[in-house]
Structure 1
């Protein structure tokens, strides 16, 4: 990889409002990653992407292959001062996997992927309470500073949304029954099925940044993301990391196992106890951790893959989740496109075995997932990267908004309980849309 010149980095005395900057000029500030919940490195940095140099949008397989070639890098072991200094902001729809998995034939999706090359960024470190501007040049840094100086931090636009369509519980139950028939036949062990909600706004140009501000309040999460491009946008408050590449290592953080929050502290502790002792949840989680170990092992040095966190409980505003962390040392011949192909989409939102599950999901759901269970992340100029899994995610197209919520189906799943799980997961998004 050709060494890029060192970036220009300046510290800001006062951290700016990244969401107001994103709302002020979506062409100059096309994306924002925020950490609104959690502890430690998983919830440390906010990154506002700035000063786009070029944008690549893939509508077909050839364009997606070209996009992967352009963004591909050999990750450097040289540490960066910041997690992102300049580089690519990237989005993959769920259907992007069609382009490198010949056994799949998923429903067509208009935008398969998009990548925006950004010359700079604003980075806020939540641990040290410091903020920085980074850019390829002093000119880029000055352009960002000028926009911060002119920023009006007034009230963000909050649009009104109305429910237009919701997939019925009865239809979801039939999908669960079909899935369980495949499980009994031995095709799969588990699959993640989803339901879809569709909303619309009477406002002609609803604000994606305004909706993001509401979602991060109703459903704070460590891997929240805003991606803005022309007439469409993605607003996500995801709790789940797909992968992180840093200092020659790759890690993935699967979530599998969900219980709703209790109505008080005593009930909440009881729900955690029930979750962690639930045989179904334990078996499902271990199976998916094994799947992730297999996926990550395809790009790692033999013997380097390990599970350094196993079945810890993370608590969010509406649910408790069981989470693990799998990591390994990347082979020296592996570029980022190989990591993406090995790990995308995440096994926790497809099932096991992954390819057969995706075929069955497509048969049952009968529609493209689009952003749902896709991914948004960044690739720094030195190859460090971090990508989420797009769950708890709203897709905006003009005045329309859609989102999905899913549940993992196994042989003894109760249809009513799994339907309730989708509704618990949807609560933060519904509250954000209802204002």
Structure 2
């Protein structure tokens, strides 16, 4: 039986925090956060909970829907089938999400697509992918300054009751010990040298090498997300948490990078980031660092390599001749860093769907290297542990074919009693080991500092 979605206006808020606070203890609660009012570039917040079904893919590629094993299917096809099972009559409307999948696709889901290897250890044991099928959403449009509840009549009554309830108080988050790295400076340098050997041998042009930092913690992960959001508001942020046999698992993402946008009319867009400098301590220093980045031939070359890779990925599912680059190496500035950002666009070919696009381009080329498959094999060889959610993607795919996903960088992952952060960067032939090591820390130092605040310093 098909249920009709209705769109109900709600009071508008400058950020999504109050709405999500009221819902965050609901099963499967998810927040896709535009970072407003502080972050540049974002527009929509999307909140939901109580999914109709949950599809997971474990580290061995086993697919489960609501705990039941699904045989003989690849993850993206299984997600497409689940999406098509959502029987909703949707109104004509330009809101981005009218029911569908919300969740994440971890970096290691790429193992189901390409022969990556199996050297890295699975130390962080979140599912390789976890997507819920949601039949309602609370959406805020910060451009129009409007908020909407998208739900069936029955579901609307439930959600309004949840929103009227008293929100559970947020308890304090705290680290029980400082973050420690999985590799020291010498360990990074050895891996850097191995990458240079592969580049000189002609295996690859660029490799994204990352390192992981971990710390034990106690307290409320929502409080941790609020700290991170305050320290570095970004336009493609997100929070989701759920219970597991290992304890609470969660994703706290403060990503500045869009991976893939696909609109129901077939328009496709990706915004790769390559090239980074820290923000300066004074306006003059900040301007000098930005100009240094813009004029850096090395950083521009890295960016152009990834643009070429993504043009190829999009070309696999887009109409011939439709892929173009309207922005190459544009400067974008965030709370802690300057970035070079390009835009690659295309138009989805007839018969192709959003999840076909995601599979064709997954994982994002900006966090693998070029050529992609060989880069992923070298990453698996050199990084001690699998990346888990890091460098995967968070986002949604709705019943009309709309999709918007991020690259899960600047992302904390909680697994049981520990929280993890990764920092990485693209290495090319003329990279400098000290500069690259420093860049991995520049990207996440502010996240570590925000999480390390004593509890009495909370905002």
Q: Secondary structure at the match of 1:51?
A: coil
Greater CA drift, 306-315 or 18-27: 18-27
Change beyond 3 A, Cα 1:165–1:108: closer
Q: Counterparts of 1:292 and 1:405 in 2: how far apart (Å)? A: 22
Counterpart position of 1:117 = 133
CA change 1:79–1:251 in 2 (3 A) is farther
How far the C-alpha of 1:283 sits from its partner, in A, is 0.9
User: Equivalent residue for 1:239?
Assistant: 256
TM-superposed deviation, 1:407: 1.2
**1:112 positional shift:** 1.4
Is 1:196 aligned to residue 204 of structure 2? no
Q: 1:324 aligns with which of 328, 336, 342?
A: 342
Please give the per-residue CA displacement for 1:344-402, whole angstroms capped at 9, x wherever unaligned. 11111000111101111111112110011011110112121111110000000122101
Shift of residue 207 of structure 1?
2.1
Q: How far 1:79 sits from its partner (Å)? A: 6.1
User: Residues 103 and 415 from structure 1, CA distance in 2 versus in 1: closer, same or farther, beyond 3 angstroms?
Assistant: closer
CA positional deviation for 1:336:
2.7
| Structure 2: distance between partners of 1:26 and 1:218 | 24
**Which of 405, 410, 418 pairs up with 2:436?**
418
Following the alignment from structure 1 to structure 2, what is the Cα–Cα distance between the partners of residues 138 and 323? Answer: 42
Contact 2:206/2:370, CA 8 A, preserved across alignment: yes
**1:374-385 matched pairs, under 5 angstroms:** 374-385=392-403
Number of residues paired by the alignment? Answer: 426
Runs (4 or more) in structure 1 with deviation over 4 Å come to 3-6, 37-42
For 1:291, the equivalent position in structure 2 comes to: 309
1:7 match = 5
1:210 aligns with 2:223: yes
Conserved 8 A contact 1:16-1:148? no
TM-score after normalising by structure 2: 0.87
| Separation in structure 1 between the aligned mates of residue 121 and residue 415 of structure 2, nearest angstrom | 16
CA contact (8 A) 1:53 1:119 kept: yes
Give yes or no for contact 1:31–1:226 (8 Å, CA) kept in 2.
Answer: yes
Which residue of 1 is the match for residue 174 of structure 2?
A: 160
The answer for unaligned runs of 5 or more in structure 1 is none
Q: What secondary structure is seen at the aligned counterpart in 1 of 2:13? A: coil
> For residues 12-51 of structure 1, what are the structure 2 equivalents within 5 Å?
12-15=10-13, 18-24=16-22, 25-28=24-27, 30-36=29-35, 42-51=41-50
Q: Which residue of 1 aligns with 2:160?
A: 145
Distance change >3 Å, CA 420–CA 378, structure 1 → 2 = same
In the TM superposition, residue 38 of structure 1 has moved relative to its aligned partner by 9.6
Of stretches 311-320 and 109-118 in structure 1, the one that deviates more from structure 2 is 109-118
The offset of 1:340, in angstroms, is 1.5
Partners of 2:398 and 2:391 in 1: how far apart? 23
Shift of 1:49: 1.7
Change over 3 Å in CA distance of 1:17–1:286 after alignment to 2: closer
Determine the structure 2 residue equivalent to 1:58. Answer: 57
Query: Relative to 1, partners in 2 of residues 1:364 and 1:79: Cα closer, same or farther, differing over 3 Å?
Result: farther
Deviation of 1:321 after TM superposition, in Å, equals 0.2
Where 2:178 maps in the other structure, the secondary structure is strand
Alignment RMSD: 2.4
Q: Does 1:132 align with 2:132?
A: no
